[in-house]
Structure 1
């Protein structure tokens, strides 16, 4: 774990229907449980969920910050969150590009929606780089 840097992640999900629809009601129930688990998970720092219920293209942006790659990986791919990944197509369309992005940020700073969307754009435009990467192609924290 780097005490000077934390790992940020953002993932974008395009809904099959309005985010307020009955079709997504079970997702919202599960999301509350997953959020509670995340907040108790070792290494959790911060979470921001933004819902964009645009009539022709509803989507959700989830942003979180973790103390380390290991803590994010453990939460993402183990337990109840991992189970939810298996059924996400119930509520969300296949991704249009990279569905998620990772990047290092100075400990104590928090990403916002604009930065998160820019990092997704960078990953989609350039592929994995130290500024925007994935679990499959990771980069270490910057050296100070």
Structure 2
């Protein structure tokens, strides 16, 4: 864990129907529970969910910040959140490209939608780099 850097993550999910549809009602209910779990999880710092209910392409962008890679990994792959990952195909289309990205940011700063989308684009264009990486190909925080 680094006191100087936190781990940001963003993931994008393309919905099978309008985000306001009955089809996604179960997702929204589960998302509220998962959000509450995240906010209580060790190492949690920040979360922002942005919904873009475009008629031709509804999607959700989830952004969060964690104190460490370990805290994010534990939350993501253990417990109730892991179960929700298995259910995602019910509500979301298969990913078009890398659906999530990780990067280090100075502790005390928060990412926004534009930065998160830029990091996803960077990962998809260049593959994993210290500026945009994945759980499979991780990088350590910068050395100050």
TM-score range relative to shorter protein: over 0.9
Structure 1 length as normaliser, TM-score? 1.00
Measure, in 2, the Cα distance between the counterparts of 1:86 and 1:12.
Answer: 16
Q: Secondary structure at the match of 2:72?
A: helix
What residue in structure 1 maps to residue 117 of structure 2? 117
What residue in structure 2 maps to residue 64 of structure 1? 64
Note the alpha carbon deviations across 1:46-82, whole angstroms, 9 max, x for none: 0000000000000000000000000000000000000
Q: CA deviation at 1:3?
A: 0.2
Show structure 1 runs of 5+ residues with no match.
Answer: none
Q: CA RMSD in A?
A: 0.2
Q: Number of paired residues?
A: 144
What residue in structure 2 maps to residue 32 of structure 1? 32
Show structure 2 runs of 5+ residues with no match.
Answer: none
Matched, 1:83 2:78: no
Measure, in 2, the Cα distance between the counterparts of 1:87 and 1:42.
Answer: 24
